[in-house]
Copies of this chain bind each other. A is one copy, B any other.
């Protein structure tokens, strides 16, 4: 945890420098300690209502969802955004939930107006379909971290997400 704290502090400074939001995974206390912009909660993390009480209205709270039931529940819990996936199979997590596919993303999109970020095995060549299905953006790990040129990979995703026309909701 001391190492996570040190890394989060360094990321806090880096994020501020480039004007990016810093979202800490799981740990509300770490998020508070380093003044992160938000926290991302999984289905097994602290309940959203408690996190909101600790973090206040100004802090971004995201919630992972993996099924349409969880998306419906998120509509009531009112996170600032939801993650939805895994869209495709991913090597980042070995114990991931069942893949939902583009069809699953379509179905989830119909259930909520919350900002929705698609996650799970997304590569540049599938971003088009994902944005067309109504995602507000994508969350990627290996597609960037395993890319030969990290900076180029990030720019590619940024461009793909911003030029796609999302269906009006």
Contact = CB atoms under 8 A, between A and B. Distances in A.
**Interface size class for chain A?**
20 to 34
A54 B28 CA distance: 10
Contacts of A101: none
A45 interface: yes
Contact of A47 (B5, B44, B53): B5
A32 B28 CA distance: 10
Contacts of A93: none
Contacts of A28: 29, 32
A32 B47 CA distance: 12
Interface string A1-17: 11101000000000000
A43 B2 CA distance: 8
Contacts of A29: 27-29, 32, 46, 51, 54
Interface of A: 1-3, 5, 26-30, 32-33, 43-47, 50-51, 53-54
